[in-house]
Structure 1
């Protein structure tokens, strides 16, 4: 045998190709980009390798898991009788145009914001989804439900619960939506295909009722009810918060309490609230600012006082005052602007954000950090006293819409 051939045959086989250190580090770098709408789309323009990586669902899951909390990318302004408008709270290049998040009611039975037999009413946005119910011409009751994902455009139509135990079409109904993904590392705000639940709740005289729809079974559960310890007809407030796996609403009657729906045990209960805590209030809002169930009372001089639920050594639950935020000293208002302050528009309980409307614009205040931003220089809500503000949180990334080519 040729000696040269012998030497060649003794050589080790060529090493398998492995990713370079740069390729291994690239995902670690990109997942640390800010969780803003423009971050990943702009990075995807660098080269084909980056574009493929950013479009990978596994990378997008890691990106969301790294940031944990989806950002508030805009607000839905809910005007009377179904007039809904989206406004971005971000500056360019992260600003999202209103028409990008414009809901369609066409193609649905009784479609249109106002049909011949009822109107669609905005109810809630949570975990990247928006919920509507269709009631009568005054918006009362619930005959149909629509769950809308503004990021993907997906619409899910759900019929109302059967009338065996209660006629939901004749009640003053509140409604809610939430993701119920059970994955350990699941991050809300990127769960566009995850299972969900829809909750309807109402109070009629001395009884509060709830019913829960599950997308996993595509059906409504049994009626859940509890007695209300108030002496006149009660009503359920429109805003809710999620604490653990329980939803909470204010319930108003001769007294004010908090209605609690435990989704694990499928039970309703009424939590009493001390009446002296909210006497002569300017605004009353649920909150999780103290780490659990709480509420915020805004006084006439615009001090936001937090009350938190406590338990003593004997296991008896109660309430105690906690943090107080002087909004009139926190916000940079011009001379005379505060005296013309119109109202506190509301609190987004899960996000612990409060919106303050003035004649010079609208402020968004993060109650935990006390950071604030003037989201509107002019006030789009000044002429409509029935309008409300609902923040929309989501990981609005390139992977939601981008198709990789080549």
Structure 2
């Protein structure tokens, strides 16, 4: 007896008997996706809502999803691929990372007009300075009684800046009636005796501000300090900070009179109240060169050497006091002493006594009593790249850079000695007598800055 076949199989064979031109019919439940092809290509396929519920959500619920997102306060989904930054933004980020040496930006400005427009933009200058923070050492500033104030570059070509491009105005050739009091944060403070005024000078920008000395402080010799007092995050000292600049002047006359101090703020154009020491203090010991010894800034206080003592001015307390230094040997002359910053930001003291440099640090106990303790001793013969000093003849401590280096003079040569790595560097092209003080000049040198009579960016590209 022949086996009965299922209806589904018989229908398939039945369709094959009529020829291949007749379309086969298949079960709509098994093959719903083929049904539209039987009725025509122009008909939109119908899909089972039970098999594809996500399509229904897409077609019917898109508007509802957008309304829910808006109601919850969320933003639409971000695209899978984030858009790239603007070409100028990418180029600005690259140029920001150029070295802070003087030749970097001027040479970049000479590449094309587009680059020049970016590196001369004040917004880019602020970004460049904030990225590097510490300005480079451009040179040293010296004062001579017969030559005036002189700038000596210390960088090698192509970063070496000619002295003519650092503008000191009329004080470049005046020596007898002016004194360099301080050099800090890219600014100079000059005392003009003949005019009874002090001058704040920005040598890179070629700008100067004259300030009349108060009549109550014209009774004796002057010392002073200039500093940028801006404390906001991201501020870089030396970036044309006249608005945040403050001056501190000291005046001392006879040995039996107290020393006076006064603060001037350039932003307001006003002098503060006069502050005096309790005991008499004489800031001049008979050598004119000692008046040019600059102050050392440690924290919020300024410190000056006065004979064997230290004169301290506290900005926060507006207090002026005299204290004693460490017990240095009597054989050390005044010029070989220097106030420095010791470890952990405390006040330090350095004294040169060949063949070593001895250093102390000041400690203050809970009762406010200050004591001096030996910090470290450096044998000069162990400092790298410092030549052998024959019996200490002609060795002189000439200054402090305000960070971690001192200036030493020996055999008509000047060396910048780093105290932390214990290395020395000879400053080429500088040869001067012993009796002067060295001020390390730190500042950024950016194109488009008007210096020495208005040099433009194209001319600045030929530095060195």
Give the stretch that moved more between structures: 291-300 or 22-31.
Answer: 22-31
Q: Distance in 2 between matches of 1:313 and 1:210?
A: 28
Question: Does residue 1:31 correspond to 2:96, yes or no?
Answer: yes
CA contact (8 A) 1:338 1:358 kept: no
TM-aligned CA deviation for residue 65 of structure 1: 1.6
**1:228-283, Cα deviation, whole Å (9 max, x unpaired):** 377xx55486221112222111122xxx2221111222211223323x23542251
Selected match of 2:428 from 366, 376, 385? 376
Q: Aligned residue for 1:211?
A: 262
1:131-170 to structure 2, matched below 5 A, reads: 131-135=189-193, 143-161=196-214, 163=215, 166=216, 168-170=217-219
Runs of 5+ consecutive residues of structure 1 not aligned to the other structure: 1-14, 137-141
The alpha-carbon distance between structure 1 residues 350 and 278, as it changes in their structure 2 partners (threshold 3 A), is farther
CA contact (8 A) 1:354 1:367 kept: yes
CA contact (8 A) 2:310 2:324 kept: yes
Q: Distance in 2 between matches of 1:20 and 1:68?
A: 25
More helix as a share of residues: 2
The alpha-carbon distance between structure 1 residues 102 and 57, as it changes in their structure 2 partners (threshold 3 A), is closer
CA contact (8 A) 2:332 2:353 kept: yes
1:134-283 to structure 2, matched below 5 A, reads: 134-135=192-193, 143-161=196-214, 163=215, 166=216, 168-204=217-253, 205=255, 206-228=257-279, 233=282, 235=284, 238-252=293-307, 256-274=308-326, 276-281=327-332, 283=336
TM-aligned CA deviation for residue 154 of structure 1: 0.5
Q: Distance in 2 between matches of 1:182 and 1:216?
A: 15
**1:155-183, Cα deviation, whole Å (9 max, x unpaired):** 1111111x3xx3x3331211111112242
Q: Distance in 2 between matches of 1:22 and 1:320?
A: 58
Selected match of 1:361 from 403, 406, 413? 413
CA contact (8 A) 1:288 1:349 kept: no
Q: Aligned residue for 1:126?
A: 184
The alpha-carbon distance between structure 1 residues 234 and 30, as it changes in their structure 2 partners (threshold 3 A), is closer
Q: Distance in 1 between matches of 2:316 and 2:372?
A: 24
Q: Aligned residue for 2:138?
A: 73
Larger Cα-atom Rg: 2
Q: Distance in 1 between matches of 2:173 and 2:442?
A: 26
**1:328-348, Cα deviation, whole Å (9 max, x unpaired):** 33153556x534742324222
Q: Distance in 1 between matches of 2:186 and 2:386?
A: 33
TM-aligned CA deviation for residue 88 of structure 1: 0.5
The alpha-carbon distance between structure 1 residues 39 and 296, as it changes in their structure 2 partners (threshold 3 A), is same
Selected match of 1:99 from 140, 158, 164? 164
TM-aligned CA deviation for residue 102 of structure 1: 4.3
Q: Aligned residue for 1:292?
A: 346
Q: Aligned residue for 1:8?
A: none
More strand as a share of residues: 1
**Does the residue aligned with 2:160 lie in a helix, a strand or coil?**
coil
The alpha-carbon distance between structure 1 residues 226 and 359, as it changes in their structure 2 partners (threshold 3 A), is same
CA contact (8 A) 1:285 1:347 kept: yes
The alpha-carbon distance between structure 1 residues 229 and 285, as it changes in their structure 2 partners (threshold 3 A), is same
TM-score (norm. length: structure 1) = 0.80
TM-score (norm. length: structure 2) = 0.71
Aligned residues: 362
Coordinate RMSD, CA, aligned: 2.9
Give the stretch that moved more between structures: 49-58 or 29-38.
Answer: 49-58
Q: Distance in 1 between matches of 2:84 and 2:393?
A: 60
TM-aligned CA deviation for residue 399 of structure 1: 4.4
CA contact (8 A) 1:258 1:270 kept: yes
Q: Distance in 2 between matches of 1:132 and 1:340?
A: 33
Q: Distance in 1 between matches of 2:240 and 2:168?
A: 19
Q: Distance in 1 between matches of 2:246 and 2:367?
A: 35
Question: Does residue 1:89 correspond to 2:159, yes or no?
Answer: no
